[in-house]
Amino acid sequence: MARRNDHVLSLLGAMAALVLFAAAGAAAQGCAPGNLQPGRSFERCADLPELGASLYWTYHPANGTADLAFRAPQSSSGWVAWGINTERPSSMAGSSVFVASLGGDGGSVSVLATYLESTSPALANGTLKLDVPVAPLAEYAAGAYTVYVTVALPGNSTQQNTVWQAGPLSAGQIAPHPIAGPNVQSTMVLDFLSGGKSTALPNFDVHRRSLRSFRG
């Protein structure tokens, strides 16, 4: 009888472990540390409401900067972008953006840092209206771009009008994004102090205990 109970208990333990593994698998989309380059971690993360994108960041109050990683799924024949509008909310024009795309060689990802003066911008590199103390960089892996950026938050304000986008390349050049649906809803006011959620792992100990009982 005692044996039988032990068996039931270890089965329950195995099921609990499976549920936890499933939860860990689901977390691999969007806000998951495993999605970033090894050695990169951020204090907060938000799954953005459009285009399957996520934003990770660490805000440093002492110098008003934020280190961030913008990750968005996209085919290798497309581009993605993230930025801050220093002039008005919910608008492309007036935004300073970082656009990641794969070059013609298909190998390296370049970042265009440009101010969008209108909805048909010139896309000249290096025209940002943001202070960028660290050179941005980007990577393409597993069907997603990740853009790593450090910015001084304009006006030293933690609330910013953020924008993000995804669109096609045409002969290696950035071509216009769709102008309907999610592509015109991809803006939000983000509070870098309180927005998103902490990326600390509160379930870690529970997970470890279940693993132990799973292994007996």
110 interacts with ligand NAG by CB under 6 A: yes
61 belongs to the binding site for ligand NAG (CB under 6 A): yes
Instruction: State which residue, 111 or 190, has the beta carbon closest to ligand NAG.
Output: 111
Cβ proximity to ligand NAG: between 29 and 156 the closer is 156
The Cα–Cα gap between 100 and 138 comes to 6
Question: Interface with ligand NAG includes 106 (CB under 6 A)?
Answer: no
Mark the segment that binds ligand NAG (CB under 6 A) among 59-67, 160-168, 178-186, 203-211: 59-67
Residue selected from 156, 170, 185, 203 as contacting ligand NAG according to rule CB under 6 A: 156
Grouping H, G, I as helix, E, B as strand and the rest as coil, residue 30 is coil
Measured CA angle at 53 (ends 27, 42), to 5 deg: 65
- The span of 12-20, 62-70, 75-83, 197-205 binding ligand NAG (CB under 6 A) equals 62-70
Nearer residue to ligand NAG within complex by CB, 137 or 211:
137
Token pair, residue 198, equals 């902490």
Regarding 60 and contact with ligand NAG (CB under 6 A), the answer is yes
Q: What are the residue ranges of helices labelled H in 36-152?
A: none
By C-beta, is 49 or 133 nearer to ligand NAG? 133
133 touching ligand NAG, by CB under 6 A: yes
Q: Give backbone dihedrals phi and psi of 181, rounded to 5 degrees, phi first.
A: 65, -140
Of the candidates 128, 122, 138, the residue with the CA atom closest to the CA atom of residue 174? 122
**41 in contact with ligand NAG (CB under 6 A):** no
Classify strands 78-85 and 65-73 as parallel, antiparallel or unpaired: unpaired
Distance of alpha carbon 59 from alpha carbon 166, whole angstroms:
25
